[in-house]
Structure formats: C-alpha cells, structure tokens
Amino acid sequence: MKKLAFLLALASLSFAVDYDPIRGEMLSLSCANCHGTDGKSTTSIPKIAGLDKNYMYQTLLEYKTGKRVDTHMMQKHTKGFTDEELEQLSYYFSKVK
Amino acid sequence: MINRRDFGKLVLGATALSFTACNSLASGLSTIPANKKRVVIVGGGFGGAATARYLRKFDSDVEIVLVEQNKEYYTCPFSNAVIAGMEKIDFIKHDLNTLAKKYNIKVVYAKVTKVDGANSNVILENGEKISYTRAVVSPGIDFKYEKGYTKENEKYAPHAVKAGEQTTILQKQLENMKDGGTFVMVAPADPFRCPPGPYERISLVAHYIKNNKPNSKIIVLDQKDKFSKQALFSNGWKELYGDLIDWRAAQFGGKVISVDPVKKVIVTEDEEIEADVLNYIPNQKASQLAFDSGLVANGKDWCDIHPKTFESKLVKNVHVIGDASNAAPMPKSAFSASTQGKVVALQIARILKQQEPLNPPKLANTCYSLLNPNYGISIAAVYNALDDKIQNVDGAGGVSPEQDPDGHIRILEAKYAYAWYESQTSDIFK
C-alpha cells in the first residue's frame, strides 16, 4: 500500500508543468467546436469542463497511444498535440467552472 | 411656382432623405473615439461570428462591429440534409441576435463594397464608412462563371453551395423530378468550399431517390480525378446504393466542356447529357469583396495570409479567415473557419494590448459527412501555424476506419455529425 501511495505521488509530481492559462485556452479553441464552449457540452459529445486534470490527461494519453479507442476521432486529434500540450489542455479544462 | 407633381417629388425626396437618415446603417461609426479601439468584422458566418464571440471573450473593452448583409444565415453544413428532405430549411437557419445582445456586439446589416486598407475603413454600399483599428474579413466564396453557367441562369441548375434560396430551389427540383429521371451533378475542381460536400450531397440525394424515385439514376461529372474521403464514400455508396451513383473522374468522361443550365444539357469530352435535375457546382474563388479590397494577389484566386495571425500579406491590419483565405492544407470548411476565427480573435486581442501573438497557434479541422441519416464518416487533422506556412502535424488526423463490420462506428459518427452541428452553432451563435 505504501509503495502504491509512493508511486501515485511520483505520478502526480511528474505531471506538474507550469500551467499557462492563455496557452491552455488557445489549445482548447478547436475542442470547443465539438465539446461546446469551454467544454460545456450539451450534446451527446462528452462534456469535458471541470474534469479532474489527472484523469483527463491520463485519458488523452490513452487516446494518443491507442490504448483507449472511440470512433478514432480522439486518436486523430490527440496525436496532433505534444504530451505537454495535452497537460496544458487538461489543466485548462479542469479549471473551467 | 411649384405644381402638384413637383410638390409630390419634393415630399418624396424629403421622405427618402429622412428614411436614409433614420436608417443610417453605421451612424457614428465613421470615426473611432480617441480612447477606444474597434475591430470591424465583415461576414457573419462561421468565421465572422466565431471571431466576434471570442474576441469579446478575450477583450471585454474593445468595440466590436460585425457587418453582415443578410439578417438570416443559412449554414452550408446540413444543407444537403435539407435538399434530400431529411430536414426543413429552418434547421439550418441562424441569426446574430443572441450574439449581438449577449456579447455587446454592434451588428450592422449592410453590404460591404470594399475594405479600404489605406484609410482603415470599411465602405458600405450606401457610401457610409466604418473606421477600424483592425478588420477581420470572412466573406466566403464566389464562383467562376464560365462554360455557359452565369449568375443569371444559375437558378435553373442551382449550385446550392451558398445555402438558403439555392438550397430550397434544388430541394424542390429534386422533389418534382419524375421517377426515372436523371440527376446530374457537376463537381468542381480543387480547391472549393467543403471538400466532402458534393459527395455527401450525392449520397443523400441517393438516399432520397432510393426511397422515393427508385427508377432514377445519378451521374456525377467530376472536374478532378479524386476527392476527399473517396474510399469511404465509394464503399458506402456500393453498400447502401448498389450502382445507383455513376461517378465519373475528369479523365474518364467527367470533364465538362460546356453547359446550358436552362435546357439542362451538359457537353462533356465524350457526349451530350440531358439532365432532369442539374446541380452544377462551378469552380470557385474568394468573394469579389476580397478582390475589390486588394486582398488577392494578381493572377490568384484566394487571399494569402501570414499563418500565425491570418493577417493579409497584401493589406496591413486586415485579417482574412474562412473560405476566402489560402490556409491550405486546412480545408475550406465551417470547422476551419470557426477555429481560425477564434485563434485570430485571441491574436488580435493580444496585439491590441501590445502583447506578442501566441506562437505557434494550433489549429484543427473535423468534417463529418452523412451517407444516410444513420451512416456517418469523418475526416480530421491538426495543424501548426508556422511563420511561413500552415503545416499538418505528422501522424495526426485521418479518416474513419475503412472497416466497420458491425456498423457501430458509422451509426455513432452520424450521431456525432448532428451533435457537432449543435455544439458548433451554439458555440458561436448563442
């Protein structure tokens, strides 16, 4: 259990980037076309506003590596972003109220 | 002495004068107050509306004027569903009322004749001028009228690429076509508005014909040899419609020599074809406004821009977005125009605050197409806007999987096509 806690702590440490809200917002602009303004979707496309940043980042990485598969739309988009950009995006959407 | 007729003229003249004064489209906008900055946006479609809505998001202080000639806007996305009778025309109707009220944007309904870069103003058809600090031009496309196709006879062979009246004309023509008729589409040469658009249209026309006029046939005369999502469309056509759609590449009989829209006769290199319904989609270029404003270089069809800010390469302080811009490899799509509008809004907000534009901005595109109401396919790409060009991000993007044995992906993508439309239009018009 201690080992798991340690690993989790490491994982959250390794996530830490300098959050740049303006850059995060710039990167988010295309997302809003499908996921709604600031990710506040009201359609069958999932809402992403307010998601936990770690969860969202993990999910985006899983799309990018092909571990998680949807209709392939998210694979196509996540592969266009660096890991650091996906972190910024995750931070941005996690902070949307 | 004034006789009765002259008196009538005077009264009429006075009425006309006061009418003009009361309806001054842009009164008070010929100059900018010393402590203000004003961005004038020309065109209230996906590009212009996105710019206006997001510029307000990024700058609560700047004065935003959106000039649009039509009070109602019909979107090209989903206009094919209207033509095929799947949706009513109101489904694709939007206006700028909510945008104007909710985000404090002054909307001027008027036709713009020129963006005068030398004097930093936008000139309206009635001669009025609106001064700007920066202008964003999102005027869309115009057509190359040639081979017998003219502005005057286009209603007989509607292109339906500018949605609205043309959409309805084509829908009615299809509805009135006899069972056993021939529906002919002429598809344009690259580049043109919405690369998968003609092929989605022909799919949905096939869906309509299969259900309503099963003895009819469809011929597509293409002015090029390949098209967007071609394998997905071709396989879908075979699966859903058998051999109903006869698509002819330019090099194999598709090339059109001349057209008579009134008689609905098309002459190709090989034969003369008589259509019952003729959907003629001409080759395209940037809107005439872009040419008249000096935004298109000699001998070119589209507006060259600096990729990071979409500022015109020819006219300073004027940004060109959407279909009129040369943003290749980005396609001329609603999604592209909207993304460009948002990024340009962010960059202009920074420029007006004396900040460096963000570097490099990231852009993306997604296009869904329907082959029938429950069969969707898609294409997507992500781009970096570099100093000298817009570049596809290697390894990103692509089309729907070719194989979908249980059909789940096609069904889901059809649902996403509708969901995207609702999200996209809500994002910028509401």
Backbone angles phi, psi at B238, to 5 degrees: -65, -45
Length reported for chain B: 430
pLDDT of residue B360: 80
ipTM of the complex: 0.88
Residues 363-402 in B contacting A (C-alpha not used; CB under 8 Å): 363-364, 366, 378, 380-383, 393, 395-398, 400-401
Q: What is the pLDDT of residues B376-393, one digit of tens each?
A: 999 999 999 999 999 999
Which one-letter DSSP state was computed for residue B412? H
* Alpha-carbon gap, residue B364 to A80, rounded angstroms: 9
For tokens 């690429």, the residue is: B161
Contact B416 A34 (CB under 8 A): yes
**Distance between CA atoms of B124 and B109, rounded to whole angstroms?**
10
Are B184 and B266 in contact by the 8 Å Cβ rule? The answer is yes
- The maximal CA–CA distance of chain B, rounded, in angstroms, is 89
> Measured between CB atoms, which of A29, A45, A78 is closest to B416?
A45
Contacts of B362 in chain A (CB under 8 A): 26-27, 30, 80-81, 85
More confident residue, B296 or B406: B296
Instruction: Name the minimum distance, in Å, from the CA of A14 to any CA of chain B.
Output: 25
Percent of chain B scoring above 90 in pLDDT: 92
Chain A hits for B335, CB-CB cut-off 8 Å, are 33
Is B364's CB within 8 Å of A25's CB?
no
Q: Is the pTM of this model over 0.95?
A: no
Residues of chain A with pLDDT under 50: 1, 6, 9-10, 13
Number of separate helices (H) and strands (E) present in chain A: 5, 0
Q: Tell whether A26 is within 8 A of chain B (Cβ).
A: yes
For B166-213, write each residue's pLDDT tens digit.
999 999 999 999 999 999 999 999 999 999 999 999 999 999 999 999
